[in-house]
Amino acid sequence: MKALVKSKPEKGIWMEEVPIPKVGPNDVLLKVKYSAVCGTDLHIYKWDEWAQQTIKTPVVIGHEYMGTVVEVGSEVDRVKIGERVTVEGHISCGFCRNCRRGRQHICDNTIGIGVHQDGGFAEYISVPAKNVLHIDKRIPDEIMAIMDPMGNATHTALSFPLLGEDVLITGIGGPIGAMATAICKFAGARNIIGTDLSKFRRDLARKMGATRVIDPTKESIREAMEKHDMVAGFDIGLECSGSPAAFNDMVNHMYNGGKISLLGLLPQNTQINWSKLIFKGLTLKGIYGREMYETWYHMEMMLTTGLDISPVITHRFSADDFQKAFNIMEEGNCGKVILNWE
């Protein structure tokens, strides 16, 4: 089969012919239809510091995808051949303390598909049956392919109550921030104000329902607040940028008792004014992946009752044109980029 392989410890990704993966007794084999390129895939492609510390080459990458079941293991009874499915990208052990208290997303022994083992940028992928998800037939295939990152956005946005609240989103125009914007609006937030340095992505966030999106180099958050009759600060912060400057801006503009979801990976040398965080009584929650499987339930219910995230898909390519997809991802003028394996 054809697969996109990180075969060398250097910048790039390569289309190669590799064996179709074998199916264990508790696994299923999927024929992939669509996969989506993630920021994590871009890190691996660029071979940055995180990738060098995390990835062991060679490995087939990709953890956002959907497809059809074509083979099932001998012990599998809840997944059938021919079913349309997607996959939770984190394989949890099921036995550690966190797994046994319902926190599989922070399992002590998590294995990431497309990171620690072969992923879904391929014509076929073998995955544990327990990670396979049947999705409502009303949800289109392309949306199914991006439910993994949508889950990150859902986990980020719904970690704290949103009804009637004022929300600040940093990195609002990236795919996660843009989807979180739509979710916040759907969940009843009052004002959704965001910052992003990219004009393309600011425009995308507006399409997703943001009240106001600013270029923080030209307009301050305080000015944006005043234009929407906000005087005290934001109730909820969603940090999706990974920028120390943006995070500090967020802390400075939170209302006392505010709550912040931290999705963006801030550099280790990030410094903040801890006294503001303490005296304002702020709550910080680190966001990793999806809460399994409550987040998936929330996603499916929202998508089948009116939530529209389709504008976040901005580019589509044949899998053979993968280099164009990665070039656009590297430029940053995009939302979600879909690869078609058919």
- Enumerate the active-site residues: 40, 43
Is 63 one of the annotated binding-site residues? Answer: yes
Is 196 one of the annotated binding-site residues? Answer: yes
Any idea of the CA torsion for 327, 329, 335, 336, to the nearest 10 degrees? 90
Q: Do 79 and 60 contact (CB within 8 A), yes or no?
A: no
Is 264 one of the annotated binding-site residues? Answer: yes
DSSP 113: B
Is 249 one of the annotated binding-site residues? Answer: no
Q: Do 263 and 237 contact (CB within 8 A), yes or no?
A: no
d(CA 257, CA 254): 8
Structure tokens at 313: 């898909």
d(CA 45, CA 6): 7
3-state SS, residue 21: coil
Is 184 one of the annotated binding-site residues? Answer: no
Is 61 one of the annotated binding-site residues? Answer: no
Is 215 one of the annotated binding-site residues? Answer: no
Q: Do 78 and 26 contact (CB within 8 A), yes or no?
A: no
Is 201 one of the annotated binding-site residues? Answer: yes
Q: Is 225 left (phi over 0), alpha (psi -120 to 50) or beta?
A: alpha
d(CA 63, CA 141): 15
Is 334 one of the annotated binding-site residues? Answer: no
Is 240 one of the annotated binding-site residues? Answer: no
Is 265 one of the annotated binding-site residues? Answer: yes
Residues marked as binding for Zn(2+)? Answer: 38, 63-64, 93, 96, 99, 107
Residues marked as binding? Answer: 38, 63-64, 93, 96, 99, 107, 176, 196, 201, 263-265, 287-288
